[in-house]
Amino acid sequence: MEAIAKSRHIRQSAKKVRFVLSEVSNLPVEDALKRLTFINKKAAKTIFKTISSAVSNYYQKESEGEGRELFIKTAYVDEGPVMKRFRPAAMGRAVRILKRTSHLTVVLTDTKQRRN
């Protein structure tokens, strides 16, 4: 049985979120949540909430799965829409500022997956 949770429009670049996500991919959910509480990055809080949401989605679907250990099957980050802003620069020019966003998807399963 699988459960999915998605977070849309995270106000952080996908590269920064991937840095934290690589620490918890392919781990048991309990271990991943423990690690995320001690990671001092903004993305850790969003990833923690998304994994917790996926856990609750799993238990809503599967009422008999209370004692099972859950694993992170896949977790990935895609780029979201980019807000374009302009800032004044020297000699009357304008410089573009890109405010990036990202989309996070986490898939949990109750069976251990092999790492490739």
C-alpha 77/C-alpha 15 separation (Å) is: 8
Angle CA 99–87–91, to nearest 5: 150
Span 88-96, average pLDDT: 96
Q: What is the pTM of this model?
A: 0.88
- What dotted CATH number matches 2-109? 3.90.470.10
For residues 47 and 36, the answer to whether their CB atoms sit within 8 Å is yes
> 77 falls in which pLDDT band (50, 70, 90)?
very high
Average pLDDT over residues 100-106: 96
pLDDT tens, 56-72? 999 988 777 666 789 99
Q: Which residue has the higher pLDDT, 116 or 4?
A: 4
Q: Please report, for the chain, the start and end positions of each structural domain, with discontinuous segments joined by +.
A: 2-109
- Better-scored residue on pLDDT, 101 or 69: 101
